[in-house]
Chains A and B, each alone.
Chain A
Amino acid sequence: MSNKNIKARLLQGNEACVQGALYAGVDFFAGYPITPSTEVAEGMARELPKRGGKFIQMEDEIASMAAIIGASNAGCKSMTATSGPGFSLMQENLGYAYITETPCVIVNVQRGGPSTGLPTKIGQADTMQAKWGTHGDYTAIALAPSTVKECFEETVRAVNLSERFRTPVVVLSDEVLGHMREMMVVPDEGELHVNKRQKPDVPSDWYKHFEMTPSFTSHMASFGEGYRYNVTGLTHDQEGFPTANPVEIREKLDKLRLKIDRYTDEIYKMRADMMEDAHIAIISYGTVSRSARQAIKMARERRIKIGGIQLLTIWPFPDAKLNQMLSGVRKIIVAELNMGQLINEVQRVAPRHAEIYGLQRYDGEVMAPQQILDKIREVK
């Protein structure tokens, strides 16, 4: 089986997340079984010990999220995987990761909700939760793959972005993508860029764990390296000690926003499909983008001037960039597997002259290309 010359592999979306994480250097995984994400934990349980990495199955998702934050502070690249109900449980400590600026990756293989919802069926209804899930103000990064290859690539990118910006990054996969199998060539070592954590280059007395730097992202020492810093979920000063000083509070919250908002060009990723002469644009993400690509082809055969934009980065939302890309279109269809979440963002940023239509499905089934085509013919 282990013929190294054969690089193309038949992988499941969830397996590709595992491979991507390993490629990016993830060496700590804590998780709790939940459909339809369990294969990620199973893959990590199998692969990490073979590489000297650490896998632990925790008592619940709250603990899983806590453990990956603890491990990240101890110097590991850490990750967990879950689905809706588990993602809800993780929100508490996800907020802790945001305020303590702890890099970590959460793969959410979405299913239908709310509550236990549809464990074995697809949904994209955690889109807004990935942005506003935990309490308080913060800026989230969330990525959405649509193919097995993208599951790999976006997991690598998630690890990289989490290290680059010292922040948690969410990968929004879904049930169909997680369980679908496709051929993909796993890149060789060095082929994709892998970020290393920025370590401090100052003596421990000068080290500030949350130092205000020109880029707003601070260097990060690990426990056991001689820096002996404090980490707290309370609003804190640059050294990590609790503060109630209005100036320091504001500085801290601005830091969480600016470290990402000023560098969105490093984070945005979208794919335009036949947009050059398009009068109608379909905006989609995740599994729906697969059907959208097919629907665009079918519509073009019927001489409809249509194009598509697939968002691989959902959060931060590419406001100005999307506005510019949509400047030439008259009609926009936002297709998603929920009751209308990202459409609100599109309405906020789209050019005023454009008419916006939602195409939503929330019955646990995939959105078929025909369904999108019907919508295109309805609005054209």
Chain B
Amino acid sequence: MQKISHESDITHHYLRPKKKFPNVWCAGCGNGIVMGALIRSIDRMKLDKDNVVVVSGIGCSSRMPVYLDFNTLHTTHGRALAFATGVKVAKPHLKVIVITGDGDALAIGGNHFIHACRRNIDITTILINNKIYGMTGGQFAPTTPGGSFATTAPYGNYEKQFDAVKLAIGSGASYVSRGTVYHVQQLEKLIEGGIRKKGFALVDVYSNCHTYYGRFNKEGDAVRMLDWFKKHAMPIEAARKLPPEKMQDKFVTGLIHETDATEFCEEYDMLLKRLGTAKEVEE
């Protein structure tokens, strides 16, 4: 009982219940699971709500900030990281979190994504990756596996796919991780680690779109899709010990890459200190 009441406290503390519920998501959507994990991580870290900014682009997942009781910025398609960069550079003491989807971050927003990684700017990006465009009704995304069906791939997808984790590592992000909406406790830890990390952090979250992806590809309902994540996720620690043939139908989860590169705003602050114009942090 104790636990349930605590959960309800958190919900009321971090959501905007009076404003815009019920949400727009389909029943069983993974977006709600990620939102729950995010607010529990923030609660555990005892972050001041006034100093948290959540920025998103366009898509199902990008509707999340509207429900969250922080400073929230729901922007244009693909541009969340560019807006978030402006917020972070302007006020580096704010905790900036970006909620994006695979189409938002990797197709239309791909350029902003690689450059945010390259700058290693202190933004935590939660990329809810459901392998399809959900809001527009199920078109293939840069993450849709080859051969999969979508409304714009009626004969099976013949394109190659982006791996957001590899892209982020290659572009210079200092914290790169992957979780799933089945492994919620791990997801909370990855989000918390990402927010604590001084630098660009990616949490690539495999999520289910049973409404479109699952239906078109005969992967079943939400429960069956979550079950697929359960069976095919391999924590990085275990994956490192396994021979490649045993990893063939698995995907790696956990904190995959971490470095200690200097962060963009710290670098800029060093410049201001050198010029004698650095301002006191207004926390």
Contact = CB atoms under 8 A, between A and B. Distances in A.
A131 interface: no
B91 A74 contact: yes
B87 A63 contact: no
The secondary structure that dominates the B interface is helix
A228 B111 contact: no
B90 A74 contact: yes
A62 B82 contact: yes
B272 to A, nearest CB: 6
Interface in B74-95: 74-76, 79, 82-91, 93-94
B19 A239 contact: yes
Contacts of B91: 74-75, 222-224
Contact of A96 (B70, B75, B88): B75
A96 B89 contact: no
A78 B86 contact: yes
Assign chain B's interface to a size class: 35 or more
Given A70-B90, A96-B75, A231-B73, A58 B53 contact: no
Contacts of A222: 91
B19 to A, nearest CB: 6
Among the interface residues B72, B86, B275, which one has the most CB atoms of the partner chain A within 10 A? B86
Contacts of B72: 228-231
A28 B19 contact: no
B50 interface: yes
Contacts of B183: none
A28 B20 contact: no
Contacts of B20: 241-242
Given A50-B277, A62-B79, A223 B94 contact: yes
Nearest to A60: B111
Given A28-B89, A63-B112, A223-B53, A70 B73 contact: yes
B66 interface: yes
Contacts of A76: 90
Interface in B23-58: 49-51, 53, 55
B221 interface: no
Contacts of B268: 54
B87 A73 contact: yes
Among the interface residues B71, B72, B111, which one has the most CB atoms of the partner chain A within 10 A? B71
A56 interface: yes
A103 to B, nearest CB: 13
Interface string A197-230: 0000000000000000000000000111111111
B120 to A, nearest CB: 14
Contacts of B279: 52
Interface string A63-89: 110111111111110100000000000
Contacts of A117: none
Contacts of A28: 86, 89-90
A187 interface: no
B65 A230 contact: yes
B12 to A, nearest CB: 15
Contacts of A239: 19
A70 B82 contact: yes
A93 interface: yes
A242 B66 contact: yes
Interface in A339-364: none
Contacts of B111: 59-60, 63
A50 B275 CA distance: 6
B278 A69 contact: no
Nearest to B92: A54
Given A92-B76, A241-B20, A56 B85 contact: yes
Interface string B248-283: 000000000000000000001001100101110010
A352 to B, nearest CB: 44
Interface in A230-252: 230-234, 239, 241-242
B73 A56 contact: no
A302 interface: no
Interface of A: 28, 30, 49-52, 54, 56, 58-60, 62-64, 66-76, 78, 92-93, 96, 222-234, 239, 241-242
Interface of B: 16, 19-20, 49-51, 53, 55, 65-66, 69-76, 79, 82-91, 93-94, 111-112, 115, 268, 271-272, 275, 277-279, 282
3 nearest A-B pairs in the assembled complex, by CB-CB distance: A70-B86, A67-B86, A66-B82
14 contacts: A28-B86, A54-B89, A56-B89, A66-B82, A70-B82, A70-B88, A74-B53, A223-B94, A224-B94, A226-B50, A227-B71, A228-B69, A229-B72, A230-B16
